[in-house]
Amino acid sequence: MNVLVTGGMGYIGSHTCIQMIEAGMTPVIFDNLYNSKETVLQRIEDVSGSKPEFVNGDVRNKALLIETMKRFNIESVIHFAGLKAVGESVAKPLEYYDNNVNGTLVLVDAMREAGVKSIIFSSSATVYGDPATVPITESFPTSATNPYGHSKLMVEECLTDFQKANPDWSIVLLRYFNPVGSHPTGKLGEDPQGIPNNLMPFVSQVAVGRREFLSVFGSDYPTKDGTGVRDYIHVVDLADGHVVALDKIGKKSGLHIYNLGTGNGYSVLDMVKAFEVASGKRIPYKLVERRPGDIAECWADPSKAQKDLGWKAKRTLEDMTRDSWLWQSNNPDGYPE
C-alpha cells in the first residue's frame, strides 16, 4: 500500500516510516524540512534497508499534493506535518492556524481531487484541556487553552464535519500522549532546534553536557511527589499504532478516534531518576515555578485502541530512557546537516 506521509521527516513521522516499511507498506514522504533535515532519509534507509520517495513540499501547496498523490498511486495519507510548540503558538497564532488548520484543509481538498479517501491525523491529548479525572477516555469533553491546542481541536472538528458529509471516507484521529524515546538502533531520534520545550529532550541534553541543569516546572502539584505526571509513550509504540490503524481501519469508512498512550503516569522526578539509571549520568535539577498552562496529571485509558485495533504499547520506561540516551549519546548535536 502506497501511503503519503506528510511530515515524514520529523520525529514521529520518521519512526512511523520505518515501522511501515517493516510491515510491507510503502511510505512516500512529503515534507518542507521546516523542522527536519534531509539526512533523516539516509537514516531511514540505514535502519530499514529501503529509502522512501521524498517530495520536498508544503502541505499548503495543493497542486503539488495532487500531482504527488497521482504520481505515486497513493491510497491513504498519514498527516503529521504541522507546528507543535505550545509557547511559540501563543506568540505566532497566525502561523499555527495557517500551517495546522489551513494546511489540513488544503490537504483534504487535494485528497478529494485525487480520489484518496483515507487519512490518519496526528492529534494530541492536549485536546482534553485540563481533564476532571484520569485516566482519560476518548469520550471526555474537549477544550483548548492555547493556539496550538485550538488548532488541533479545530482540525478534529473540521474532519468530523467533513466525514459526516462524506460518509465513504475513513478518518482516524489519533490522540497522542507524550511521545519519547528513539529508534533502538540509536540512528533516529528527536532533534529539537534551540532550547528544547519538552522534558525528555531537555533531560537528554543535560546528560550529554549541552545544558547545565533541568528546571523542574512546579513541585506543588497534587501528585505523588508534587511534580507533573504524564503518560510517556515510546515513539516506536506510537509508530506501530499508526501501522495497525492503517491496516485495520484505514479502509473502513467512518470517523475513528483513539488515544495512543500506555495508561501509566510518571512524574517528572520519576523520569529524571529513570534517565539517570539508563545513562549512568547524574541529572542536576532545580525546582522552579510552575510553567503557565501546565496541568497536574494527564494519562490515557488506552483500552479502546486495544479492543478495536489490538494495539497496546509494549515498551517500558526503561526502554524509553535507554533508547533516548543511545540516540543522544551517539548524536550529541542531533542530525548532521
Catalytic residues: 148
Contacts with ligand UFG by CB under 6 A lie at 84, 86, 124-126, 177-178, 197-199, 202, 214-218, 228, 230, 268, 291, 294
Q: What is the DSSP string of 144-185?
A: -SSHHHHHHHHHHHHHHHHHHH-TT-EEEEEEE-EEE---TT
Counting contacts by CB under 6 A, is residue 82 touching ligand NAD? yes
Counting contacts by CB under 6 A, is residue 321 touching ligand NAD? no
Nearer residue to ligand NAD within complex by CB, 212 or 337: 337
**Distance in Å, CB of 288 to ligand NAD, minimum:** 21
Nearer residue to ligand NAD within complex by CB, 250 or 334: 334
Counting contacts by CB under 6 A, is residue 41 touching ligand NAD? no
Q: How crowded is residue 274: how many other Cβ atoms within 10 Å of its Cβ?
A: 20
d(CA 150, CA 57): 25
Nearer residue to ligand NAD within complex by CB, 12 or 21: 12
The strand pair at 178-180 and 232-234 is best described as: parallel
**Distance in Å, CB of 258 to ligand UFG, minimum:** 14
Nearer residue to ligand NAD within complex by CB, 9 or 272: 9
d(CA 246, CA 331): 31
Q: With CB cut-offs between 5 and 8 Å by kind, which of ligand NAD, ligand UFG, none does residue 35 bind?
A: ligand NAD
Q: What angle do CA 16, 191, 238 make, to 5 degrees?
A: 25
Q: With CB cut-offs between 5 and 8 Å by kind, which of ligand UFG, ligand NAD, none does residue 199 bind?
A: ligand UFG
d(CA 318, CA 181): 10
* Locus of grid cell 520525529: 11
Applying CB under 6 A, the residues found at the interface with ligand NAD are 6-7, 9-13, 31-36, 58-60, 80-82, 84, 99, 103, 122, 124, 176, 179
